[in-house]
A and B are shown apart, each in its own frame.
Chain A
Amino acid sequence: AQSVTQPDIHITVSEGASLELRCNYSYGATPYLFWYVQSPGQGLQLLLKYFSGDTLVQGIKGFEAEFKRSQSSFNLRKPSVHWSDAAEYFCAVGANGNEKLTFGTGTRLTIIP
């Protein structure tokens, strides 16, 4: 069975600083990986996805993530955060031919001026 771990429950960064949110997954074959963002009171919005190919993927809002098979990781990065990035971020893993996703427990991001 697949699983996802987001080890950081809450992260606080200053506006303009760089950001890295961690995601580790467990799955036997090549996974499908996703990062979603959820603003308060809203649904989940896709930031980026990895299916195959280039292990560094670019997403919306200036985010990127790197798939590292050897570390079973798919960390989310942004070089300079904006106050509007304050939200909750979810990593998710799926498998080819299996429509079900498994979500991590989320990381809440707070931005300080």
Chain B
Amino acid sequence: NAGVTQTPKFQVLKTGQSMTLQCAQDMNHNSMYWYRQDPGMGLRLIYYSASEGTTDKGEVPNGYNVSRLNKREFSLRLESAAPSQTSVYFCASMREMSPQHFGDGTRLSIL
């Protein structure tokens, strides 16, 4: 099984451009998450989805939108990218009473 798959792995954007990061899991997990990782700050939760059809804000949601397309897929959209959104983005999924499983990340640079 692939686990959690994120696409793309790398991306460079210009300020003001839009982009959607894709995440898919094949473990039949209910909950899915988007984090950003910045040096010295650990992982910070952007948005999460506890089940298909629901989404909630995390710690740092400003500038982002999400869509839980179905049980497998959870996408993160940057409508107008800003340099402060340069980061590594991780998607994760979990089922109840179990650890989160992480993808390999998307490295996003905004010039």
**Interface on A for B, CB 8 Å cutoff?**
9, 34, 36, 41-46, 49, 51, 90, 99-101, 103-106
Contacts and interface: CB of A to CB of B under 8 A. Distances in A.
Contacts of A100: 33, 45, 48, 58
A99 B31 contact: yes
Given A43-B104, A44-B90, A49-B99, A105 B42 contact: yes
Contacts of A36: 102
Given A34-B99, A43-B102, A43-B103, A99 B94 contact: yes
Given A43-B90, A43-B102, A44-B90, A105 B40 contact: yes
Sorting the interface of chain B by its residue count into under 10, 10 to 19, 20 to 34 or 35 or more gives 20 to 34
Contacts, number: 44
Nearest to B103: A43
B69 interface: no
A41 B37 CA distance: 12
23 contacts: A34-B99, A36-B102, A41-B105, A42-B104, A43-B4, A43-B103, A43-B105, A44-B92, A45-B102, A46-B100, A49-B99, A90-B42, A99-B31, A99-B50, A99-B94, A99-B96, A100-B45, A103-B42, A103-B43, A104-B42, A105-B41, A105-B42, A106-B42
Nearest to A48: B99
Contacts of A49: 99
B2 interface: no
Interface in B41-58: 41-45, 48, 50, 58
Contacts of A51: 97
